[in-house]
Amino acid sequence: MMRGGRDQRFDSRIVWRAPIMGGQPQKLLSGEFTTSPVVSPDNRMLAVAYRVANTKEDRLSVMPLDNLSQRLYDFKFADGAVLTGQIKWTPDGKSLIYTVSNKGVGNLWLQPLDENAAAKQFTHLTNNRIYAFDWLPNGREIVCARGEQLSHVVLLRLTRKA
- Domain at 50, CATH number: 2.130.10.120
Number of domains in the chain: 1
Residue 158: inside a domain? no
Q: Which domain holds residue 35?
A: 2-147
pTM of the complete model beyond 0.85: no
Average per-residue pLDDT for the chain = 82
Is 81 within a domain?
Answer: yes
| Residue 37 in domain | yes
Cβ atoms of 135 and 91 within 8 Å: the answer is yes
- Compare 20 and 162 and report the one with higher pLDDT: 20
Q: How does pLDDT run across 56-107, given as a tens digit for each residue?
A: 778 888 989 888 778 888 888 877 676 657 899 999 999 999 988 888 888 9
Judged against a pLDDT cut of 60, whether residue 6 lies above it is answered with no
DSSP 31-82: ESEEEEEEE-TTSSEEEEEEE-TTS--EEEEEEETT-TTS-SEEEEPPTTB-
